[in-house]
Amino acid sequence: MRGRWLVQLAALLGLFSCTAPYWDRRSGQRFTDIDAMATVIKLHLSSGEVYVLSPWHLDSARRVIVGTGDRLSPARDRLQSGVFEIPLDSVAVFESNRRKELISVGVSTTTTLGFVGAAFGAFILLIFFQGNFH
């Protein structure tokens, strides 16, 4: 009986863990300004064209970024899709986008501690009253 109660309490506390997805966007004029683990990379050229690549990787020996995606015009019309190799020196602005999970520790911790405290208090009362009625 007591084990079942603990499982139910754990399930209830799990409902109060607070996470929310968000996109971590970084940009800069150097490759080192962005998140190298990003799932999506955008390479803005000085001509106004943009390459949007996912997946992608850096070939540091050849100083190129290799990836699959779209080449867009300055008006953002799709010009071409496929696998591209873009020299690092031809990129004016690097931009990375990576989906992450935001964990709201403040609300989650306060809520969890409140429920743990209430459960502990109820447990103590239960033991106290069971001892007095036997």
Residue 112: per-residue pLDDT = 63
**H/E element holding 7?**
helix 2-14
- Number of neighbours of residue 65 by Cβ within 10 angstroms: 23
| pLDDT band for position 3 (cuts 50, 70, 90) | low
pLDDT of 9-67, one tens digit each?
555 555 555 666 766 778 788 888 888 888 899 999 999 999 999 999 999 999 999 99
The DSSP secondary-structure symbol of 34 reads S
Considering the chain, what is the average pLDDT of its residues?
Answer: 78
CA 2 centroid distance within chain? 37
10: alpha, beta or left? (left if phi > 0; alpha if psi -120 to 50): alpha
- For the full predicted model, state whether its pTM sits above 0.85: no
**3-class DSSP string for 36-101:** CCCCEEEEEECCCCEEEEEEEEEECCCCEEEEEEEEECCCCCEEEEEEEEEEHHHEEEEEEEEEEE
Q: For residue 102, what pLDDT band results from cuts at 50, 70 and 90?
A: low
The pLDDT-based confidence of 129 (bands split at 50, 70, 90) is: low
CA distance 133 to 91: 79
